[in-house]
Amino acid sequence: MNVPFYRHQLTAAHAEAIARVVASPMLTSGAIGREVEGLLCNYFNVPYALLVNSWTNGALACLLAMDIKPGDEVIVPAMTFIATANMVELIGGKAVFVDVDPDTLLLTPAAVKAAVTPRTKAVMPVHLYGQMVDIKALRAAIGPGVRIIEDCAHCFEGTLNGDRPGAHSDIAIFSFYATKNVTTGEGGAMITKDAALAEKLKVTRLHGMSAGAIDRFRAGAYNHWDMLQLGVKANLPDLLAALIPPQMPEIEGKLAERERLARRYETAFAGNNLIRLPKAVSGSKHARHLFVIHVPPKLRDPLMLALNGAGVGCTVNYRNVPTLTYFREKYGFAPSSFPVAETWGAGTISLPLFPGLTDQEQDHVIATLRRELDRLSASS
Ligand SMILES: *Cc1c(COP(=O)(O)O)cnc(C)c1O
């Protein structure tokens, strides 16, 4: 039996929404995008939402809008996808890595506070795997002078103490990449309660121009635009935005299925002393983006090979980011510089988790994993 790491759940019904855009005059950012931004404002209970063509480009637009400059410091977790740190470096800022909590793998307010310097302009907490960092406590720890940019690539549906992303930060940025819980293939969104920031984001999202295409042709007459500052090309076309409205009513049902499958894994691995799982955060509703396990590091790569050999797709989220070549060479980090990210990153495996994964498929993953882990630990 072959079990893929991921199978998307878009159907002919979602494709019809794209066909309707193709049949309309406007292919890029227009009325559909505005409608979707309204849906996101409603869902997250915020006044401003801006669609973007990736989390990555949204983060660039955000850092530009916040006027983050060469030499400025932005705190990021050592355990994340590289994009979180890379965008800070790309605009000339310094990504200041902070190790994560050994149980939850999340940034803690105390660790962030200890890394704040007079040059710190922002922190980018990552809601890793779908559990939220405590943003309210983080704000209390670092005060109002440091901007909080939530990396919500793993957490669209999650909450902490009843609060969704965006409730206590300056901005929350989502990814609609192909494997994310809500997807447009490539895409993302930024949400904020800050009116001044939202105005700036509209500009930095599109070349620093004073008006987007839809406004340039408003009322059928051409309007001149100005360039106010440097910006990126980060707007999401309506062709892709059209995939969001049909997904909104499916969100809760799909999350319930992710939760059910995650609990089946948890039950199956309970009591296995070679397998460690991230600890549940109290008060948190988990978005269940990824199901990750940790095994003894010397068994990780052979186990992944054995899983792949038995037709089971799996991946690694993530290895210790500061020890990847670019950061290691630039800042001279050693594996021991971030011991939690190092240990977790050397032993973690992500297993198939998506609505539509059948119980039979999941049972194959579980049985293969148990068998191969026993075999490898007996022979090591
Ligand atoms: C996927 C991901 C990103 C990047 O998202 P894109 O939309 O592909 O740019 C950033 N951060 C994390 C934690 C991610 O998982």
Q: Whole-angstrom Cα distance, residue 90 to residue 226?
A: 25
Is the sign of the CA dihedral 263, 268, 269, 273 positive or negative? positive
**Tens digit of pLDDT for each residue in 94-145?**
999 999 999 999 999 999 999 999 999 999 999 999 999 999 999 999 999 9
Q: What is the mean pLDDT of residues 305-321?
A: 98
Residue owning the nearest CA to atom 2 of ligand 1:
153
Q: What is the mean pLDDT of residues 55-72?
A: 97
pLDDT band for position 217 (cuts 50, 70, 90):
low
DSSP per-residue codes, 66-93: TT--TT-EEEEESSS-THHHHHHHHTT-
Mean pLDDT of the chain: 96
Catalytic pick among 94, 121, 180, 285: 180
pLDDT band for position 216 (cuts 50, 70, 90):
low
Does residue 352 carry a pLDDT above 80?
Answer: yes
If one residue of 81, 88, 152, 232 were mutated to test the ligand 1 pocket, choosing by the most ligand atoms within 8 A of its CB, it would be 81
Residue-level pLDDT at 221: 80
Give the 3-state secondary structure of residue 368: helix
Q: Whole-angstrom Cα distance, residue 218 to residue 255?
A: 40
The pTM of this model reads: 0.97
Residue owning the nearest CA to atom 1 of ligand 1:
153
Specify the DSSP class assigned to residue 379. T
The answer to whether residue 121 is catalytic is no
340's tokens: 């939690």
With a Cβ cut-off of 6 Å, ligand 1 is lined by 54-56, 80-81, 83-84, 126, 151, 153-154, 175, 177, 188
Q: How far is the CA of 93 from the centre of ligand 1 (A)?
A: 19
**Tens digit of pLDDT for each residue in 147-175?**
999 999 999 999 999 999 999 999 999 99
Q: How far is the CA of 180 from the centre of ligand 1 (A)?
A: 9
pLDDT band for position 380 (cuts 50, 70, 90):
confident
CB 23 within 8 A of CB 166: no
Residue owning the nearest CA to atom 8 of ligand 1:
177
Does residue 214 carry a pLDDT above 80?
Answer: no
